[in-house]
Amino acid sequence: MKFPQQLLLRLTGLLEAPPLQTAATPPEKRPRVRQPRLHGEDAQLTAQARELLHGQRGLRELAGKVRVVWNARLQTTAGTASARTWEVEINPRLKDHGAATIGRILRHELAHLISVYRAGRRRIAAHGPEWRQACADLGIPGEPRCHSLPLKAREVRAKFAYRCQHCGRLLKRVRALERRSACFDCCQKHNRGRYDERYRYVRVPMDVLEEGRVKQPE
């Protein structure tokens, strides 16, 4: 008995073989690996932050900008705030401390954003009267400048802290800087990448790192 060539191939499965998965398979077709949510925005906390700001006079615009994100890179710091991005970063380890603690840290950091926002281009101290006022407005009068949370530090801890004299960026180091070093971002931005004394990192006491930092808008 003689089969036509086409049918023979079909019977042996050669024609019906599924297309091979090759390197050319587009990335969106590959299965996604789910990562634990230690990073990224928390929609619920962002909504809570916006609600807190909506309750304040003159802060509706800020309410539209603010975002709350988890940052697993934070070690003993409970939270930070950046007025550059209007982001509040919260340490995921706070999840072990309950919603009330998270709410307090959220208010503390929001108060940083409010005080910087209200101050406009005026430079203010991170935990000065403007910040204390914002804390009172958010219902946490007398908030301490530092949080003494029993967060576990990693074995290796930074012992040296430096601050860019220009943008205020903090640099944490386990060892001291051996040479004069300047802020990379500022040198790039203002000086075509070359070193300049104006952007040199100056040593600051470690206790400024115990709690969140605030970057002022330029």
Pairing type for strands 67-70 and 87-90 reads parallel
Closest CA to 116 of 75, 72, 80: 80
| Radius of gyration, CA atoms only, the chain | 26
**Residue at token pair 């304040």:** 56
CA distances from 35 to 15, 38, 93 (A): 39, 8, 17
Closest chain position to Zn ion (CB): 183
- Pick one of 68, 135, 161, 186: the residue that binds Zn ion (CB under 5 A): 186
* 35 Cβ neighbours under 8 A, 6+ residues apart: none
Cβ proximity to Zn ion: between 59 and 116 the closer is: 116
Q: From the CB of 126, what's the least distance to Zn ion, in Å?
A: 6
The structure tokens listed for 185 are 């971002």
**Interface stretch with Zn ion, choices 32-40, 117-125, 147-155, 204-212 (CB under 5 A):** 204-212
Beta bridge partners of 216: none
**Interface stretch with Zn ion, choices 44-52, 89-97, 99-107, 167-175 (CB under 5 A):** 167-175
Q: How distant is the alpha carbon of residue 123 from its chain centre?
A: 22
79 interacts with Zn ion by CB under 5 A: no
**Interface stretch with Zn ion, choices 35-43, 46-54, 84-92, 205-213 (CB under 5 A):** 205-213
167 interacts with Zn ion by CB under 5 A: yes
Q: From the CB of 153, what's the least distance to Zn ion, in Å?
A: 19
With CB under 5 A, what is the number of residues at the site for Zn ion? 8
**Residues 115 and 124 sit within 8 Å (Cβ to Cβ):** yes
Q: From the CB of 86, what's the least distance to Zn ion, in Å?
A: 16
183 interacts with Zn ion by CB under 5 A: yes
For Zn ion, the binding residues (CB under 5 A) are: 164, 166-167, 169, 183, 186, 211-212
